[in-house]
Amino acid sequence: MDRNNMPLLGDNFPEMEVQTTKGMYNLPGDFKGQWFILFSHPADFTPVCTTEFVAFQKRYDAFRKMNCELIGLSVDQVFSHIKWEEWINENLDTEIEFPIIADTGKIANTLGIIHPSKGTNTVRAVFVVDPEGVLRTMLYYPQELGRNMDEILRIVEGLQISDDNNVAMPANWPKNELMGDEVLVPQEPNVNKIKERREKGEKEGLKCYDWWLCHKKL
Residues 6+ apart with CB under 8 A from 192: none
How far apart CA 56 and CA 73 sit, in angstroms, is 13
**Is 214 designated active site?**
no
β partners of residue 4: none
Catalytic position from the list 49, 68, 208, 214: 49
Q: How many CB atoms lie within 10 A of CB 9?
A: 10
Mark out the alpha helices in the chain (DSSP H runs): 47-58, 60-65, 78-92, 106-111, 149-165, 191-200
Catalytic machinery residues: 49
